[in-house]
Structure 1
Amino acid sequence: MAKSNLYKGSLTTIILKLLSEHDKMYGYEITQKVKALTKGELQITEGALYPSLHKLEAEGLLEVDVAKVDNRLRKYYKLTEKGTTETVNKLDELERYIATLQTLINPKLSY
Protein backbone atom coordinates (compact mmCIF):
# COMPACT_ATOMS: atom_id res chain seq x y z
CA MET A 1 0.00 0.00 0.00
CA ALA A 2 3.04 2.28 0.24
CA LYS A 3 2.59 3.42 -3.34
CA SER A 4 -1.21 3.44 -3.28
CA ASN A 5 -3.19 6.57 -3.94
CA LEU A 6 -5.96 5.47 -1.57
CA TYR A 7 -4.61 7.56 1.32
CA LYS A 8 -4.67 10.82 -0.64
CA GLY A 9 -8.38 11.35 -0.03
CA SER A 10 -7.69 10.95 3.68
CA LEU A 11 -4.51 13.00 3.87
CA THR A 12 -6.19 16.01 5.46
CA THR A 13 -7.72 13.81 8.14
CA ILE A 14 -4.38 12.09 8.77
CA ILE A 15 -2.65 15.44 9.23
CA LEU A 16 -5.35 16.83 11.50
CA LYS A 17 -5.41 13.65 13.61
CA LEU A 18 -1.64 13.69 14.13
CA LEU A 19 -1.66 17.35 15.06
CA SER A 20 -4.50 16.74 17.51
CA GLU A 21 -2.25 14.24 19.31
CA HIS A 22 0.88 16.40 19.26
CA ASP A 23 1.08 20.06 20.17
CA LYS A 24 2.98 20.92 17.01
CA MET A 25 4.85 19.10 14.28
CA TYR A 26 6.97 20.01 11.28
CA GLY A 27 6.47 18.50 7.83
CA TYR A 28 9.21 15.88 7.82
CA GLU A 29 8.17 14.83 11.32
CA ILE A 30 4.62 14.22 10.04
CA THR A 31 5.87 12.04 7.18
CA GLN A 32 8.06 10.00 9.52
CA LYS A 33 5.33 9.58 12.13
CA VAL A 34 2.91 8.23 9.52
CA LYS A 35 5.57 5.89 8.19
CA ALA A 36 6.38 4.64 11.71
CA LEU A 37 2.77 4.22 12.82
CA THR A 38 1.89 2.28 9.68
CA LYS A 39 5.13 0.27 9.67
CA GLY A 40 5.92 1.72 6.25
CA GLU A 41 2.56 0.92 4.68
CA LEU A 42 1.80 4.62 4.14
CA GLN A 43 4.51 6.91 2.92
CA ILE A 44 3.44 10.49 2.45
CA THR A 45 5.55 12.40 -0.02
CA GLU A 46 6.53 16.02 0.44
CA GLY A 47 4.76 16.71 -2.85
CA ALA A 48 1.48 15.58 -1.29
CA LEU A 49 2.05 16.86 2.24
CA TYR A 50 3.04 20.49 1.80
CA PRO A 51 0.19 21.52 -0.51
CA SER A 52 -2.20 19.99 2.05
CA LEU A 53 -0.52 21.84 4.92
CA HIS A 54 -0.69 25.13 3.01
CA LYS A 55 -4.36 24.56 2.17
CA LEU A 56 -5.20 23.80 5.81
CA GLU A 57 -3.36 26.93 6.88
CA ALA A 58 -5.23 29.04 4.30
CA GLU A 59 -8.52 27.61 5.59
CA GLY A 60 -7.64 28.72 9.11
CA LEU A 61 -7.31 25.18 10.45
CA LEU A 62 -3.57 25.41 11.12
CA GLU A 63 -1.23 28.09 12.31
CA VAL A 64 2.49 28.13 11.75
CA ASP A 65 5.32 28.88 14.16
CA VAL A 66 8.79 29.34 12.75
CA ALA A 67 11.79 28.38 14.87
CA LYS A 68 15.49 28.31 14.16
CA VAL A 69 16.83 24.78 14.58
CA ASP A 70 20.44 23.91 13.78
CA ASN A 71 20.88 27.23 11.98
CA ARG A 72 17.83 26.54 9.76
CA LEU A 73 14.30 27.84 9.92
CA ARG A 74 11.73 25.14 10.63
CA LYS A 75 7.97 25.58 10.27
CA TYR A 76 5.91 23.96 13.01
CA TYR A 77 2.24 23.41 12.31
CA LYS A 78 -0.41 23.31 15.01
CA LEU A 79 -4.18 23.23 15.10
CA THR A 80 -6.24 26.35 15.58
CA GLU A 81 -9.49 26.17 17.53
CA LYS A 82 -11.30 25.82 14.21
CA GLY A 83 -8.86 23.06 13.27
CA THR A 84 -9.62 21.16 16.45
CA THR A 85 -13.34 21.24 15.65
CA GLU A 86 -12.73 20.21 12.05
CA THR A 87 -10.57 17.29 13.21
CA VAL A 88 -13.54 15.83 15.09
CA ASN A 89 -15.76 16.30 12.04
CA LYS A 90 -13.24 14.76 9.62
CA LEU A 91 -12.62 11.75 11.86
CA ASP A 92 -16.35 11.14 12.18
CA GLU A 93 -16.78 11.44 8.42
CA LEU A 94 -13.89 9.01 7.78
CA GLU A 95 -15.25 6.46 10.27
CA ARG A 96 -18.66 6.53 8.54
CA TYR A 97 -16.97 6.15 5.15
CA ILE A 98 -14.92 3.16 6.33
CA ALA A 99 -18.05 1.54 7.76
CA THR A 100 -19.84 2.07 4.44
CA LEU A 101 -16.93 0.56 2.51
CA GLN A 102 -16.88 -2.38 4.91
CA THR A 103 -20.58 -2.95 4.15
CA LEU A 104 -19.83 -3.01 0.43
CA ILE A 105 -16.74 -5.18 0.70
CA ASN A 106 -18.10 -7.69 3.19
CA PRO A 107 -21.90 -7.45 3.42
CA LYS A 108 -22.10 -10.60 5.60
CA LEU A 109 -20.54 -8.65 8.47
CA SER A 110 -23.08 -5.81 8.22
CA TYR A 111 -25.70 -5.45 10.88
Structure 2
Amino acid sequence: MGNSNLYKGSLTTIILKLLGEFDKMYGYEITQKVKEITHGELKITEGALYPSLHKLEADGLLDVEVVKVDNRMRKYYKLTEKGDKEIVNKVTELENYVKTMQVLLNANLNTSK
Protein backbone atom coordinates (compact mmCIF):
# COMPACT_ATOMS: atom_id res chain seq x y z
CA MET A 1 0.00 0.00 0.00
CA GLY A 2 1.61 3.18 -1.19
CA ASN A 3 0.45 5.63 1.47
CA SER A 4 0.86 4.45 5.04
CA ASN A 5 -1.20 7.44 6.24
CA LEU A 6 -4.29 5.73 4.83
CA TYR A 7 -4.12 2.88 7.32
CA LYS A 8 -2.86 4.75 10.39
CA GLY A 9 -6.41 5.65 11.43
CA SER A 10 -7.31 1.96 11.17
CA LEU A 11 -4.39 0.59 13.15
CA THR A 12 -6.32 0.30 16.42
CA THR A 13 -9.04 -1.68 14.65
CA ILE A 14 -6.47 -3.92 12.96
CA ILE A 15 -4.75 -4.68 16.28
CA LEU A 16 -7.99 -5.37 18.14
CA LYS A 17 -9.32 -7.57 15.34
CA LEU A 18 -6.11 -9.64 15.20
CA LEU A 19 -6.00 -10.11 18.96
CA GLY A 20 -9.66 -11.09 18.90
CA GLU A 21 -8.83 -13.81 16.39
CA PHE A 22 -5.45 -15.01 17.71
CA ASP A 23 -5.87 -14.54 21.49
CA LYS A 24 -2.39 -13.20 22.29
CA MET A 25 0.43 -11.98 20.09
CA TYR A 26 3.73 -10.12 20.42
CA GLY A 27 4.51 -7.02 18.39
CA TYR A 28 6.64 -8.52 15.63
CA GLU A 29 4.10 -11.30 15.24
CA ILE A 30 1.37 -8.71 14.66
CA THR A 31 3.38 -6.97 11.93
CA GLN A 32 4.11 -10.26 10.19
CA LYS A 33 0.51 -11.50 10.39
CA VAL A 34 -0.76 -8.27 8.80
CA LYS A 35 1.86 -8.57 6.08
CA GLU A 36 0.87 -12.21 5.49
CA ILE A 37 -2.90 -11.59 5.44
CA THR A 38 -2.56 -8.64 3.04
CA HIS A 39 -0.02 -10.42 0.82
CA GLY A 40 2.55 -7.74 1.59
CA GLU A 41 0.28 -4.81 0.71
CA LEU A 42 0.14 -3.52 4.26
CA LYS A 43 3.33 -3.22 6.29
CA ILE A 44 3.03 -1.94 9.83
CA THR A 45 6.19 -0.37 11.17
CA GLU A 46 7.33 -0.69 14.76
CA GLY A 47 7.17 3.10 14.99
CA ALA A 48 3.43 2.96 14.31
CA LEU A 49 2.63 -0.29 16.12
CA TYR A 50 4.15 0.17 19.57
CA PRO A 51 2.63 3.59 20.35
CA SER A 52 -0.76 2.12 19.40
CA LEU A 53 -0.21 -0.94 21.59
CA HIS A 54 0.83 1.27 24.53
CA LYS A 55 -2.23 3.50 24.08
CA LEU A 56 -4.55 0.50 23.93
CA GLU A 57 -2.95 -0.83 27.11
CA ALA A 58 -3.30 2.56 28.83
CA ASP A 59 -6.96 2.70 27.76
CA GLY A 60 -7.56 -0.66 29.45
CA LEU A 61 -8.19 -2.54 26.20
CA LEU A 62 -5.07 -4.72 26.36
CA ASP A 63 -3.21 -6.69 29.00
CA VAL A 64 0.50 -7.42 28.68
CA GLU A 65 2.12 -10.68 29.66
CA VAL A 66 5.91 -10.85 29.73
CA VAL A 67 7.33 -14.28 28.94
CA LYS A 68 10.94 -15.45 28.74
CA VAL A 69 11.57 -16.98 25.30
CA ASP A 70 15.05 -18.15 24.27
CA ASN A 71 16.76 -16.13 27.01
CA ARG A 72 14.94 -12.91 26.15
CA MET A 73 11.80 -11.30 27.44
CA ARG A 74 8.88 -11.07 25.04
CA LYS A 75 5.73 -8.99 25.62
CA TYR A 76 2.51 -10.68 24.61
CA TYR A 77 -0.56 -8.53 24.18
CA LYS A 78 -4.07 -9.83 24.73
CA LEU A 79 -7.50 -8.27 24.93
CA THR A 80 -9.13 -7.37 28.18
CA GLU A 81 -12.88 -7.83 28.53
CA LYS A 82 -13.26 -4.16 27.65
CA GLY A 83 -11.05 -4.65 24.58
CA ASP A 84 -13.08 -7.64 23.46
CA LYS A 85 -16.23 -5.52 23.53
CA GLU A 86 -14.53 -2.63 21.72
CA ILE A 87 -13.76 -4.80 18.66
CA VAL A 88 -17.40 -4.68 17.55
CA ASN A 89 -17.51 -0.88 17.83
CA LYS A 90 -14.24 -0.34 15.97
CA VAL A 91 -15.01 -2.81 13.18
CA THR A 92 -18.49 -1.33 12.66
CA GLU A 93 -17.03 2.17 12.64
CA LEU A 94 -14.43 1.21 10.02
CA GLU A 95 -16.96 -0.69 7.88
CA ASN A 96 -19.23 2.37 7.85
CA TYR A 97 -16.32 4.59 6.87
CA VAL A 98 -15.34 2.25 4.01
CA LYS A 99 -18.95 2.16 2.76
CA THR A 100 -19.10 5.96 2.82
CA MET A 101 -15.83 6.21 0.92
CA GLN A 102 -17.08 3.71 -1.67
CA VAL A 103 -20.23 5.80 -2.21
CA LEU A 104 -18.11 8.90 -2.63
CA LEU A 105 -15.64 7.25 -5.01
CA ASN A 106 -18.38 5.67 -7.11
CA ALA A 107 -20.59 8.77 -7.29
CA ASN A 108 -20.96 10.82 -10.42
CA LEU A 109 -19.71 14.06 -8.92
CA ASN A 110 -19.88 16.07 -12.11
CA THR A 111 -23.60 16.71 -12.42
CA SER A 112 -23.18 19.48 -15.02
CA LYS A 113 -22.76 16.96 -17.86
- Under a length normalisation based on structure 1, what TM-score does the superposition of the two structures give? 0.94
**Cα shift readout 1:56-77 (whole Å, capped 9, x = no counterpart):** 0000000000100000000000
Q: How far apart are the structure 2 equivalents of 1:84 and 1:57?
A: 13
* Cα separation, 2, equivalents of 1:24 and 1:14: 14
Code of the aligned partner of 2:55: K
Query: For residue 68 of structure 1, what is the aligned residue in structure 2?
Result: 68
- Cα separation, 2, equivalents of 1:92 and 1:3: 23
> What pairs with 1:1-111 in structure 2 (closer than 5 Å)?
1-107=1-107
User: Runs of 4 or more off by more than 4 Å in structure 1?
Assistant: none
CA distance in structure 1 between the aligned counterparts of 2:30 and 2:107, rounded to whole angstroms: 35
Tell me if the contact between 1:3 and 1:43 (Cα under 8 Å) persists in the aligned partners.
no
Q: Which amino acid is the alignment partner of residue 105 of structure 1?
A: L
Q: Can you give the 5+ residue segments of structure 2 that lack an aligned partner in the other structure?
A: 109-113
Measure, in 1, the Cα distance between the counterparts of 2:49 and 2:72: 20
Pick the structure with greater CA Rg: 2
* CA root-mean-square deviation: 1.0
Q: Could you report, residue by residue, the CA deviation over 1:81-100 in whole angstroms, capped at 9, with x for unpaired residues?
A: 00011111000000000000
* One-letter amino acid of the structure 2 residue matched with residue 56 of structure 1: L
In the alignment, the residues of structure 2 paired with residue 99 and residue 107 of structure 1 have an alpha-carbon distance, to the nearest angstrom, of 12
Instruction: Measure the CA separation in 2 of the matches of 1:5 and 1:16.
Output: 19
The count of residues paired between Structure 1 and Structure 2 equals: 108
% identical aligned pairs: 76
**In structure 2, the residue corresponding to 1:65 is in which secondary structure?**
strand
Q: Is the 8 A contact 1:64 1:77 kept in 2?
A: yes
